[in-house]
Structure 1
Amino acid sequence: MILFGIPTVIAACVWLWPLARRALRGSPCFEPLAFAVGLALSLGLLSLAMMWIGLLPGAWLRGWIVLPIPWLGLIVWAWRGRNEIAAWARRARNGLHWREWLRVESPPFWIGLLCAAVVAVIAVNLISYPFYTYDVLVRYAADARDVFTRARIAPALTGYPLGVHLLYAFGFMAAGAANDHVAGMMSAALIAGMVITVWVVTRLLFTTRAAWVAALLTASAPVFVNWATSGYIDIPNGFYHGVTFAMAYLWLARGEARYALLAGLLGGLALWVKHSSLVLIPALAVVPLLRLWPLSFARARREMALGAMALSAMALAAAPWFARSYLLGAEVFPAPSTYDALFVDHSLNALIAFWYRRGEWGVPFAATVLAGMLLWAAAFVWPRLAGLSDSEGDVRRAILLWAAFVIPYHLIWWWGFTYQARYLFISLPMYAAVAGFAVDGAADRIPMLARTPAAATVIVAAALIGSAIRPRLGAVYYLLTDPLRSDDVKLTRLAKDSWLTAKYVREKIPPGEKLYVMDGSLAYWLYDYELTAGYPTRLNDLRGYDYYIVAPWGESVLSALGASADEINQSLDDPTLFVELYRSSDEGQTIYAVNGP
């Protein structure tokens, strides 16, 4: 089944690429733009189709229904585009354009190769390792397993959008089992899409050199590599924001309905990935306003119609999910936990996020983003500072569009989400673009930089990339030296206490028993138990449960929340109430059998 699953996941990533090529014909940056948009549409609309199938009465979300979708799409497009495919094959055989790009003395060749190497290392981590990070186990993979097992979307799955969760479920269907490795291919594809989108967004706004610099700075940012290997959805969400921005920019520049429609649809798919993408509603609404000048009734009517079309496409893609949550009486837009909110930093230093947290982002990325934002803001007043061939009005409109996509969310992040730098990935393509712009502008204005030998440029780029990926090379090493290493061994190294605890439960405790656990990540592995995750404070909270699993961080969480579990802790040594069965390590998790109260 794996041999079928791998090509099926690949097909799922590209089945609408031919449609994107047709829709974007004549656009700038055509090939990379079409690939990024094709990837976004392929995965986003596949996930959306799975949602509708999963909401049908009964249990229809099964492999034999879902897996043929991308294959049928490819067959249809291959037949319709057979002449184009033949022409493309002839050009590939006879043309020299690709050979010119592959000149080894060209810095773009080496920078592209280095960025591809980063994506490859990230992909090895995502595909060779099973799921082991907290939110993936608690939510994304756990929901995917639930959907895969039930063959439907249960009423309990509400609020948090299932865009990526259902892609993991598709990976499970393709493999014929809950296979983390096949599902991880979906994350790897979205990470690759992010790097390509950074290049595309920067090239649309600025120059080719700025685009390569932006891609390099992104791929060499330590925080990007660390979170890209986690399976979290923040980078995929940023990928969708990036392609939405690209379409919005082309809509702004050219005023064509196809770009407005794609901007709205991709914005809706971004919202289907994560509800923080609500900020795209005002961002897209800005585009027709920026296009109103010179003002006339006919122009205003056309621009408002395009704006309505874009927002309607966005609503059509995303609104049904949130409407369902509302109708079921569930939380429509889930808020962060009370515990996380304790760590919000409202200082002005936190507002200057990249430099303030340069230890996470890396000094090169942090410094160039800050410089780029200042230069981009100055270009609004003095457009010639941008060094672009566009008119002053076009430069100012581009800056306002960039600001509409970036500034509102940045302020929201500063007010309520500074405890995680990864939440800024939502705007990463736009941040990286101005970083590339800053370096490109410096190279134009500083003669010494302009005369830098190509070899020196490549050496610096390699050093940046090497520093970023070094902590993640272990997966590559083990893949080469011990390719048959079991998931048990991997998880014992990556998530020791959680995995050993889950193993003990599965080996010693019958399925169906009621567990109260502090570690929510156990939910993915203990799917066939009645599991409640939380932090009980009274003995009565454990009434009716068979086992209580204590995590070492429980006391600190309760203390931060102003609560205490003293009543329970003082009773743990009472054999009439609790019996200790297992301890994963001296400072690890402890399993108690509950005899009372």
Structure 2
Amino acid sequence: MQTILAWILVALVLAAAYPWAAWLVTRSPRPPDFWLIILLALALGPGALTLLMFWLALLGFRFDVWAITLPYFALMLPGYLLWRREGARIAWPVPPASRLERLALLALALVGGAVLFNAAYWPFYRDDALAIYARYGRIMAETGTLVPFAGRNEAFYQAYPVQIPLVYAYTYLASGWLNEYLARVIPSLFSLGCIPAVYILGKNLFDSLAGWLGALLLALTPTFARWASSGYVDLPMAFAYTLAAVFAWRLWSDGRGVDALLAGLMMGLAAWTKNAALLGVVFLVIWLAYGWLRRRFGLRTALIALLACAVVAAPWYARNWAEARLLVPPTAWTDQAAPTLNNLLILITLGNNFGLPGWLMLGGVFYGLWVALRRGRQSPEMLLLLLWTLPFFSVWWLLVSYDPRFILLFLPPLAALGGGWLAAVWNHSPQQRMRPFIPLFVALMLALAAYNAWIGVDYKQAILGNPLMGDAEKHEIVLRGR
């Protein structure tokens, strides 16, 4: 019974952030965007919960499910009251306008369903998920506090940002046991949130077609399907990082302080998820400086974004410096980096990871560079996407190109670039010539979606042999498979 109640409690925790998200998004003169509100609520809920746990630990309080949950709901209450004062209007999703969009939604649902099933069916089994994130979540649930530096010599993995391990700890406390199935669902929701985040980013920067195509490129990339339910922090970081790009663009377009606030909060949450997002903080500073110089918004508005980012992320890194005199642990194997031509073109040379979408994303990069060089500051949408991707890729190529998994950190904005390019090709092509290719496109889209749904579920033979197996049997299977 407690396990069922834990699932309900986590659902309520996620839902409780909706009023804050709805109220903040509707501060803009733009029409309410259903998906943006949902994604913002998904980011704010676990973000606020885990930051609350962090501060409780710093103040000397031990973790207890109700000592965490009740203050969390108290934090959500003002959002509900503000939302109600505005009429408590709920934004509903706009149904797909065409048959093609409905088929695209089906393809996305196939991949998303497979990812969620895999997350909820299997316990943790990937290396770092077991050795770092889930393990530290278990330790914090058992000890009731953060993992200390004192007495540990583990390459300082305890200096890794702890949003995801704290999520795991909370689900364990709520369940009364190591409920890895519930724990794995939340970061998987973050991973899947990257798909509509790319749609929103592409739609805002270009048009709806670019949004759909960008979302499809991401969902149909094999490495996305393989890692989305892994329990790692790469795609959860990418989720907040992509939302930061969405609000950074809204800030550029409208110059409103609420978008500055949300851009900073999202980048702060990205850095609260993985320390690689500190690079993103630099990119945000550059974008804010550029927008201020172009007089898109004032200095005070830019400072709102920086302050919001600092309030979220800085205390964690200050704690690391105070306890261990480090900001980022020396865990990157930079001596194993391979800055070769093969890795420079990894989107097309590593077909097993990126497949056809990799070719199209690379095309989007070249298209973005061409537009930016040709139009310069008249193409701020390309400047934003290139800023969010190319410097990150350069750091990956020079320092950590031994592991292609790290490209997941900025894969969503790469997909938005690819979607923008494909939409431009479609929009500038004679429709009569393009129409015969639509059935081929649909068949390819559904085939790739079916393939990614297939590879997104692990140990399929074991599932077919005994779909109702218990927790012990599942652990035995994944242990044998490692």
> What is the TM-score normalised by the length of structure 2?
0.90
1:68 maps to: 70
Which of 298, 301, 304 aligns to 1:306? It is 301
Q: Deviations over 1:531-550 (max 9, x none)?
A: xxxxxxxxxxxxxxxxxxxx
How do 1:17-36 and structure 2 match up within 5 A?
17-25=18-26, 26-27=29-30, 30-36=33-39
Change (3 A) 1:313 1:495: same
1:329 maps to: 324
1:492 maps to: 476
Change (3 A) 1:155 1:118: same
CA shift, 1:252, in A, is: 1.3
Amino acid at match of 1:33: L
2:46 maps to: 43
CA distance in 1, matches of 2:72, 2:103: 34
Give the greater-gyration-radius structure (CA): 1
CA distance in 1, matches of 2:433, 2:418: 16
Instruction: Note if contact 2:168-2:183 (Cα within 8 Å) is conserved in structure 1.
Output: yes
Q: Deviations over 1:283-328 (max 9, x none)?
A: 112233323456xxxx59x632222221122111111111111111
Unaligned runs of 5+ in 2: 150-156
Instruction: Note if contact 1:199-1:214 (Cα within 8 Å) is conserved in structure 2.
Output: yes
Q: Deviations over 1:235-265 (max 9, x none)?
A: 0010010001111111112111111111111
Q: Deviations over 1:165-204 (max 9, x none)?
A: 1011111122121110111121222122111111111111
1:133 maps to: 126
CA distance in 1, matches of 2:378, 2:16: 35
1:150 maps to: 143
CA shift, 1:456, in A, is: 4.2
Which moves more between the two structures, 130-139 or 473-482?
A: 473-482
1:272 maps to: 272
CA distance in 1, matches of 2:188, 2:161: 20
Matched, 1:198 2:191: no
Instruction: Note if contact 1:251-1:287 (Cα within 8 Å) is conserved in structure 2.
Output: no
Instruction: Note if contact 2:52-2:72 (Cα within 8 Å) is conserved in structure 1.
Output: no
SS of the residue 2:336 aligns to: coil
Instruction: Note if contact 1:129-1:475 (Cα within 8 Å) is conserved in structure 2.
Output: no
SS of the residue 1:203 aligns to: helix
Instruction: Note if contact 2:56-2:62 (Cα within 8 Å) is conserved in structure 1.
Output: yes
CA distance in 2, matches of 1:134, 1:73: 35
Which moves more between the two structures, 21-30 or 274-283?
A: 21-30
1:460 maps to: 444
State the percentage of identical aligned residues.
25
CA distance in 2, matches of 1:370, 1:264: 29
Instruction: Note if contact 2:23-2:83 (Cα within 8 Å) is conserved in structure 1.
Output: no
Change (3 A) 1:420 1:305: same
CA shift, 1:221, in A, is: 0.7
Which of 407, 426, 433 aligns to 1:424? It is 407
Which of 357, 370, 373 aligns to 2:365? It is 373
Change (3 A) 1:153 1:228: same
Amino acid at match of 2:172: F
Amino acid at match of 2:42: L
Which moves more between the two structures, 30-39 or 481-490?
A: 481-490
Instruction: Note if contact 1:344-1:416 (Cα within 8 Å) is conserved in structure 2.
Output: yes
Instruction: Note if contact 2:225-2:455 (Cα within 8 Å) is conserved in structure 1.
Output: no
Unaligned runs of 5+ in 1: 384-391, 499-597
CA shift, 1:211, in A, is: 1.0
How do 1:193-342 and structure 2 match up within 5 A?
193-292=193-292, 303-336=298-331, 340-342=333-335
CA distance in 2, matches of 1:494, 1:72: 40
Change (3 A) 1:314 1:449: farther
Change (3 A) 1:317 1:142: same
CA shift, 1:446, in A, is: 3.5
Instruction: Note if contact 2:141-2:169 (Cα within 8 Å) is conserved in structure 1.
Output: yes
CA distance in 2, matches of 1:456, 1:353: 26
Q: Deviations over 1:9-33 (max 9, x none)?
A: 1222232222121111133672211
Task: Give the RMSD, CA atoms, in angstroms.
Answer: 2.6
Amino acid at match of 2:419: G
Matched, 1:440 2:423: yes
CA shift, 1:78, in A, is: 5.1
- The structure carrying a bigger helix percent of its residues is 2
Amino acid at match of 1:15: A
CA shift, 1:46, in A, is: 1.4
Higher relative contact order (CA 8 A, sep 6+): 2
Which of 388, 395, 418 aligns to 1:412? It is 395
SS of the residue 1:432 aligns to: helix
Instruction: Note if contact 1:24-1:34 (Cα within 8 Å) is conserved in structure 2.
Output: yes
Amino acid at match of 1:366: G
Amino acid at match of 2:199: W
